[in-house]
Homo-oligomer: A and B are copies of this chain.
């Protein structure tokens, strides 16, 4: 089955039918604001942290799949449809989704009306910005109603999906321009200094912010009462389920186009400037954001800037092998994927709900190899962030929360491959950049500035931690796990609810890891070189000695530890 094709000239993948075997998503944003958007406009947005600062609600493992997103409904004289097929699933005359570098374009046509939805998270903005263009390609004048739709999350996505006793009582809004600008300010009065704004750059014919008013209690996303009846309710949510929706009614002559820019933004205020009057929020940051997206020219400039940014990033490394498919992967999609991995570090996807974990110590370190050449300065910061969470004895939290940059104990520590990954990542960083200066940076242990040491000292403690935690064959103790996730997921748990990672007999004086042994050997030479360059010849000699001893221990016991070395050297 063919679902699309590569458009290499535009660095896009073009999906040509909406009912893909599973939702295909793009990750928008590469700084602080992120949106996951599927090829049918499903998904959600968050600021920095998918768990703690979720702007819009999303239901994982839903029925049907991928129900919920940032939607546009069109009521074209009684025919109700979406440019991306979902959620009405009204059959389209044509459909196309272009997955681009930090943007997605969804275009649908129905009954001679074309709707083109261009979604991006612009550089330097904390917002998802969408242009919706409607073109009447028929020979008749059309009366068209356009309805936007987002469903707000009450910021903390974990609480939002469990604590209904409280959450149904919270939602609060303010408005400007007859509802064209909607401020979702839940908890802002009590204990938040941030709100969401959802706005369109045009006069509206109505709005909705209460989900039940807009959809109807028993209607799915695919049959919103307000759209079916073509009558916005102008609902103001107080509690229950807050949404944002604009209604825009226009008459389009044959050949005529109209264009609207929708901004879904995250705004913060200093604590002492939260309000301009009693219960009236300070909207200055929102106004500033919206000012930049009032015209098509502004939108196009931002999109051009975003594309230029990616062209520059992807231009740093490219090959021409003569094999189109190989070139495409190496020059574009693999690097793009590595950048997404840097941005999200697996904390949010269509399978990782964003509330189950933070970012990984191991993950960040290993992913670094994929993006260090693209953004060396950000790779540098990531290394320092990770190292700051390390424990003074050289071991590590396995995860940390991106918002706070502090280690979390959700799955504990004692993953004995983690310390070596730090060495691995630093080796790779220095090989790429030649920035030996990073080794002199003072870096906290366990986020405690009073315990700060140089990054080189962090590496020393990392290596020494493994050196001091070996088992009966002289191989590294596995601790709670190594990076063979299958191993720590299938054993040592006898009781329901027991963590697979933080308990059990694996963390004892016996279980060793050939994986970690291979890694220990693998990092040793580069690391010893660094030590020598820094003048620490005695530690370098120790490291080289350890490499020899570990290699012997592996060979003596008949394990083929060589696979890692070969992979690493290649």
| A binding-site residues for B, Cβ under 8 Å | 19, 21-22, 52, 59-68, 86, 89, 151, 155-156, 158-159, 161-168, 187, 190-192, 211, 215-222, 241, 351-353, 355-356, 489-490, 493-498
Interface of A (DSSP majority class): loop
Cβ–Cβ < 8 Å partners of A219 in chain B? 64
User: Which of A216, A489, A496 has the largest number of chain B CB atoms within 10 A?
Assistant: A496
Task: Evaluate contact between B164 and A218: CB separation under 8 angstroms.
Answer: no
- CB proximity of A496 to chain B, nearest CB, Å: 5
**Known contacts being A63-B68, A156-B496, A496-B192, is A217 close to B162, with CB within 8 Å?**
no
Q: What separation, in Å, do the CA atoms of A489 and B187 have in the docked complex?
A: 12
Task: Evaluate contact between B65 and A218: CB separation under 8 angstroms.
Answer: yes
User: Which of A356, A489, A494 has the largest number of chain B CB atoms within 10 A?
Assistant: A356
Cβ–Cβ < 8 Å partners of A221 in chain B? 63
Cβ–Cβ < 8 Å partners of A161 in chain B? 60-61, 161-162
CB < 8 Å: which of B21, B162, B351, B497 contacts A168? Answer: B351
Residue of B nearest to A164 (CB): B351
Q: What separation, in Å, do the CA atoms of A21 and B217 have in the docked complex?
A: 8
Residue of B nearest to A218 (CB): B64
Residue of B nearest to A355 (CB): B162
**Known contacts being A59-B59, A355-B162, A356-B163, is A220 close to B64, with CB within 8 Å?**
yes
CB < 8 Å: which of B64, B65, B217 contacts A22? Answer: B217
Task: Evaluate contact between A156 and B217: CB separation under 8 angstroms.
Answer: no
A-B contact pairs, 14 of them (CB 8 A): A52-B496, A61-B161, A63-B151, A63-B221, A64-B215, A64-B217, A64-B218, A64-B220, A161-B162, A164-B352, A164-B356, A165-B351, A191-B493, A191-B494
- CB proximity of A442 to chain B, nearest CB, Å: 29
Task: Evaluate contact between B352 and A187: CB separation under 8 angstroms.
Answer: no
Task: Evaluate contact between B191 and A496: CB separation under 8 angstroms.
Answer: yes
Cβ–Cβ < 8 Å partners of A190 in chain B? 490, 493
Task: Evaluate contact between B63 and A166: CB separation under 8 angstroms.
Answer: no
Residue of B nearest to A22 (CB): B217
Residue of B nearest to A240 (CB): B61
- CB proximity of A270 to chain B, nearest CB, Å: 14
Cβ–Cβ < 8 Å partners of A63 in chain B? 59, 67-68, 151, 211, 215, 220-221
Residue of B nearest to A497 (CB): B156
Residue of B nearest to A192 (CB): B496
